[in-house]
Amino acid sequence: MNAAEIIALKAQALAEARDATSPQDIEAIRVRYLGRKGALPAIMKSLKDADPVERSEMGKQANLFRQELSSALESKASESESGDTVRTPSRMDTSLPGQWPSRGSRHPISIVIDDITAIFRSMGFTVADGPDIDSEHNNFDALNTPGDHPSRDAHDTFYLDNGDLLRTQTSTVQVRVMESTPPPIRIIAPGRCYRRDTSDATHSANFHQVEGLYVDRKVSLADLKGDITYFAHRLMGPGVQVRFRPHFFPFTEPSVEYDFSCHICKGSGCRVCKNSGWIEISGAGMVDPRVFENVGYDAEAFTGYAFGMGVERIAMIKYGIQDIRHLYDNDVRFLSQFS
């Protein structure tokens, strides 16, 4: 045995001492290493035969072995006597912070779009996409918006020099899809829209919508109600109630607006739902036959429903975000909460 081997044996003995959990263990270790027939007396005996160059180092290490192991066993014994719980053996401070690249986060708008998309995919919808800059035809004309409708005003809509505009709704994608694909179709179109709203707590000139369109034979208002209700249960939980109110949009007839029961107060009234128990979500309706005619669909053979919902609004409702501007402020302290 040389000095290095003594050190290794010491490490083994100390590890055993640390792992000992009972007085019997402690005694067994003492006998095994320090006892008359133990390892250490054997080492001491072997010193006289050792290489003289190594002898002094071996002696020094053997003494250290005895001292360290004795004191380790003593403190272990007193710990055991005092009744303290013997700690789970550990060689490091396991409470140190973990080190692995931290996970990032999706933006809440992305999360909501992904959630909505996943739900409608499960119902057989596919996702369609369209450009942010589109024609007045796709944004207004084809959607049966009267020529002098106020929403067309340059006060509300961003026009470009060439007469195109920044779409004010993702309904443009409806028109694009219907003009290029024969029915039946079942699509949703998430995307960015623009309106000339001065920004405040609930308005942003740049926002996101998810448009939905289902055209087939005999699609009815009942289908719209059923699908929106199913969607509501998947998005907000099975307890949510949905109610429909007649409304008006140029591109649907009949038109409805729908509300979800408030998920915060469950309908009893709170700040989020302004004490009404209901939260207005979006508009929908049966596609106006004139829209079908504009895109060359047989308005007699096919019927369909369409809806458009505001993503920011749903994100604000779901996460209790008070001000829409937080969504575009991109403060890491806000974003990282969506990890």
Partner 1 sequence: MKLLLSWLQDYVDFDGSTEALADRLTFSGSEVEAIDEIDGEVVLTIEVTPNRPDCLSIIGIAREVSALVRNPLRIPEVRLAETGPAVESLTSVELQDPERCARYSARVLQNAIVAPAPDWMQRRLELCGVRSINNLVDITNYVLLECGQPLHAFDQSRLTEGRIVVRRAQPGESIQTLDGVDRKLTDDILVIADASNPVALAGIMGGSSSEIQPSTTDILLESAYFDPSGIRRTARVLGLSTESSYRFERGVDVAQVDWASRRAAALMIEHAGARLGAGAIDQWPTKPAARRIACRPNRVRDLMGVEVGDEEIREILTSLELPVEAGADGALVVEVPTFRVDLEIEADVIEEVARIYGLDRIPAPTPRSTLIEAADDAGTRARAELRSQLVGLGLNEVMNYSFLSGGALDRFGTGDRDARVVLPNPISQDQAVMRNRLTPQMVETLGRNRARQTESAALFECGRVFYKGSDGLPNEQDRLAVGMMGRIGRGCLDVARPVESDEMFLWMKGLVESLCRAMHVRDVQVRDTAHPVFEEGFAVDVMIEGACCGQCGILSRAIGEAWRMSDPVAILEIAIQPLLTHVFELPKLNSVPIYPSVLRDMAIIVDQSVRHEDVLRVIHDSAPAELTDVHLFDIYTGKGVGECKKSVAYSLAYQSLETTLTDEAVNAFHAALMNAVVNALNAEIRGN
Positions 192 through 251 that interact with partner 1 (CB under 8 A): 192, 194, 196, 198-199, 205-206, 216, 218, 220-223, 225-230, 242-248
Instruction: Count the neighbouring beta carbons within 10 Å of the beta carbon of residue 96.
Output: 7
Among 107, 137, 318, 326, binds partner 1 (CB under 8 A): 107
Cβ neighbors of 150 (< 8 A, separation 6 or more) are 156
The nearest distance, CB 89 to partner 1, in angstroms, is: 24
Which distant-in-sequence residues (6+ apart) come within 8 Å of 11 by Cβ?
none
In 237-336, alpha helices (H): 289-294, 311-319, 332-335
Q: Looking at residue 128, what DSSP letter applies?
A: -
Pick between residue 27 and residue 115 the one whose CB is nearest to partner 1. 115
Quote the least distance from Cβ 266 to partner 1, whole Å.
Answer: 19
Q: Which is nearer to partner 1, 92 or 160 (CB)?
A: 160
Sign, CA dihedral 187-284-251-165, equals: negative
Q: Which of 219, 268, 278, 290 is nearest to 244 (CA)?
A: 278
Given 48, 90, 102, 238, the residue binding partner 1 (CB under 8 A): 102
Q: How many residues bind partner 1 (CB under 8 A)?
A: 83
Q: Among residues 28 and 244, whose Cβ is nearest to partner 1?
A: 244
Question: In the complex, what is the shortest distance from the CB of residue 227 to partner 1, in angstroms, rounded to a whole number?
Answer: 5
- Minimum distance of partner 1 from residue 47's CB (angstroms): 40
Please state, in angstroms and rounded to a whole number, the distance separating the CA atoms of residues 144 and 158: 19
Choices 28-36, 45-53, 97-105, 264-272; region in contact with partner 1 by CB under 8 A: 97-105
Per DSSP, what are the bridge partners of residue 166?
Answer: 133
Give 71 or 126: the residue with its C-beta nearer to partner 1: 126
The contact mask relative to partner 1 for 136-175 (x = CB under 8 A, - = no) is ------------x-x--xx---xxxxx-x-x---------
Per-residue contact flags (x/-) with partner 1 for residues 109 to 128, judged by CB under 8 A: xx---x--x-----xx-xxx
In the bound complex, what is the minimum distance in angstroms from residue 320's beta carbon to partner 1?
A: 19
Check residue 335 for interaction with partner 1 (CB under 8 A): yes
Q: Which is nearer to partner 1, 90 or 330 (CB)?
A: 330
Burial bucket for residue 314 (CB in 10 Å: 0-12, 13-18, 19+): buried
One-letter identity of residue 173: V
329 burial type by CB count under 10 A (0-12 exposed, 13-18 middle, 19+ buried): exposed
Shortest distance in whole angstroms from residue 188 CB to partner 1:
9
Residues 280-299: x/- map of binding to partner 1 (CB under 8 A)? ------x-xxx---------
Footprint of partner 1 on 41-80 (CB under 8 A): none
**Rounded to the nearest whole angstrom, what is the least distance from the CB of residue 6 to partner 1 in the complex?**
33
| Alpha carbons 166 and 158: distance in angstroms, whole number | 6
Alpha helices in 20-99 (DSSP H): 23-34, 39-47, 52-81
Nearer to partner 1, 35 or 250 (CB): 250
How many Å apart are CA 301 and CA 299, to the nearest integer?
6
Sequence-separated (6 or more) residues with CB below 8 Å from residue 268 = 277
Among 254, 267, 269, 277, binds partner 1 (CB under 8 A): 254
Using CB under 8 A, which of the segments 7-15, 84-92, 183-191, 262-270 binds partner 1? 183-191
Listed residue (202, 196, 213, 199) closest to 130, CA to CA: 213
Q: In whole angstroms, how large is the CA radius of gyration of the chain? A: 37
